[in-house]
Chains A and B, each alone.
Chain A
Amino acid sequence: AQSVTQLGSHVSVSEGALVLLRCNYSSSVPPYLFWYVQYPNQGLQLLLKYTSAATLVKGINGFEAEFKKSETSFHLTKPSAHMSDAAEYFCAVSALSYNTDKLIFGTGTRLQVFP
C-alpha cells in the first residue's frame, strides 16, 4: 500500500530564506509523486509532479523537488521565500487500482513567511 508522511505540520521562514518542506513516501511500485499548494479558502493547485522522467523536477513559482529513491523522499525546496508563498502544501503519491489512479495525500505542511 502507498502512503505519504510530511514531517512538520508548520514551517516558518523569513522572507528570502530557503524553503524546505519534507515528504517521505512508501510505495510497493515505482511511484508518481506530486506537490500541491492550497491558498486560504481555495482549492488545491498542482506545483509539480514526478513521473520518472527526471529526478529533479521544477515546478511553478520557483519551487523544485528531488526524487531520491534510496531515501524514499521527495522534498520540496525554494531558494528564496516570498511572502506570497505562505500557504499549505500537500505531498501526494499515486495509488494504482484496477479502474483508476487514486492519490494518497499527506497531512499537509503550513508555511509561514515572515518579513
Chain B
Amino acid sequence: DAGITQSPRHKVTETGTPVTLRCHQTENHRYMYWYRQDPGHGLRLIHYSYGVKDTDKGEVSDGYSVSRSKTEDFLLTLESATSSQTSVYFCAISETRLAGGFDEQFFGPGTRLTVL
C-alpha cells in the first residue's frame, strides 16, 4: 500500500471554527490532491498540488485553502467551517502525469468531518 496517512481520521467541529486536515505521504510523489466524497456526488476535487508551493483549484474549491511547504505534506484548511462542508475528505497522490506515463492516483484512508 502507498504510504499515505491522513489526520485526524475523525473530527467534529462547530460552524465558524477553522479546521485543518493533514495529508502525509512517504512515497515522495510529486502530485497531491484533496477530494471530498458525498452521497450522490462521488468524489469531487477540491484542490491539488503539482509541486512544493505549487497548488491550484479544483471544481469545489470555495471555502477551502491549501498549502504545501514540503513534498510530503499537503494541508487542507477550512477557514470558517460550515455545515455544508460536512463530508469525508480523501487525499490522493500520484507520481507521473498520465500523458507521460500510466500512473494512477493512490488514496489515503479518509477523514470524516462533521460540522455542527
Contact = CB atoms under 8 A, between A and B. Distances in A.
Secondary structure at chain B's binding surface: helix, strand, loop or mixed?
A: strand
A51 B40 CA distance: 27
A32 B109 contact: no
A100 B102 contact: no
Interface residues of B, number: 28
Interface residues of A, number: 24
A105 B42 contact: yes
B21 to A, nearest CB: 14
A90 to B, nearest CB: 6
Interface string B31-49: 1010000001111110010
B74 interface: no
A107 B107 contact: no
A25 B33 CA distance: 22
Nearest to B9: A41
B45 A44 contact: no
B104 A101 contact: no
Interface string B81-109: 00000000010101001110010111111
Nearest to A44: B107
A36 B107 CA distance: 10
A103 interface: yes
B27 interface: no
Contact of B109 (A36, A43, A51): A43
B56 interface: yes
A106 B40 CA distance: 9
Contacts of A90: 42-43
B79 interface: no
Contact of B42 (A49, A94, A101, A108): A108
B27 to A, nearest CB: 14
The 8 closest A-B pairs by CB, nearest first: A43-B107, A101-B98, A105-B42, A44-B107, A107-B42, A105-B43, A100-B50, A99-B50
Given A102-B48, A107-B42, 20 more contacts: A9-B40, A32-B98, A41-B110, A43-B90, A43-B107, A43-B108, A44-B90, A44-B107, A46-B104, A46-B106, A96-B98, A96-B99, A100-B48, A100-B50, A100-B97, A101-B98, A102-B58, A105-B43, A105-B44, A106-B42
